[in-house]
């Protein structure tokens, strides 16, 4: 972190962002992936809570809030104007099809001018030593990160 002339740092949130940040809230995360062993494309949804500090975003899926039960998702992201770049990790359910496998990769999203939708692509490795990719989208559901909102969205997305 570099300190500017007046003792400020470039990593501090701007005053108009406030402590919570303009992207904090509950979002619907949705991505697609192709399963070569099942020869089928799947659509996965998670309710995630995003917290923001400056240009950094961290997203965590809410408990019980996935179409892939017991498969928590996390994202570590950086905002640069209308571009979000970062990494994702998903630990699949122990008793699910992928038997507790941990997948991870990179993601890059464009933020719509409204700030209520992010869309782009993910990339990650497959079990056959190949690199896979697919679409990924996040849609804002609720700006609040209060306990009541988290409890409200701690259910599988429809």
Which residue ranges form the domains of the chain, and what is each CATH number? 25-152 (2.40.128.120)
Query: Nearest Cα to 62, choosing from 158, 125, 144, 156?
Result: 156
Is residue 134 within 8 Å of 34, Cβ to Cβ? yes
Rounded CA separation 136/123 (Å): 10
- At 20 the pLDDT is 52
Rounded CA separation 70/100 (Å): 9
pLDDT by 10-residue block (mean), the chain, 158 residues: 36 38 94 92 97 97 92 97 97 88 96 97 89 97 96 93
- At 129 the pLDDT is 83
Rounded CA separation 132/48 (Å): 23
| CA 107 vs CA 9, 121, 124: distances in Å | 27, 6, 9
- At 47 the pLDDT is 98
| CA 97 vs CA 21, 24, 47, 115: distances in Å | 37, 32, 21, 35
Q: What angle do CA 41, 42, 43 make, to 5 degrees?
A: 130
């Amino acid at each position: 972190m570099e300190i500017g002339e007046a003792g400020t740092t470039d990593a501090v949130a701007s005053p108009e962002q406030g402590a919570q940040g303009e992207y904090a809230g509950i979002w619907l995360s949705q991505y697609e992936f192709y399963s070569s062993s099942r020869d089928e494309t799947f659509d996965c949804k998670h309710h995630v809570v995003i917290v923001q500090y400056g240009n950094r975003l961290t997203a965590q899926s809410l408990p019980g809030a996935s179409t892939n039960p017991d498969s928590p998702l996390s994202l570590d992201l950086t905002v640069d104007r209308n571009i979000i770049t970062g990494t994702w990790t998903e630990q699949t359910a122990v008793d699910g099809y992928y038997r507790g496998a941990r997948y991870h990769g990179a993601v890059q999203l464009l933020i719509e001018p409204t700030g209520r939708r992010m869309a782009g692509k993910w990339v990650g490795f497959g079990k056959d030593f190949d690199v896979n990719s697919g679409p990924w989208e996040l849609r804002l559901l609720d700006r609040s990160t209060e306990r009541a909102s988290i409890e409200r969205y701690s259910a599988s997305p429809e």
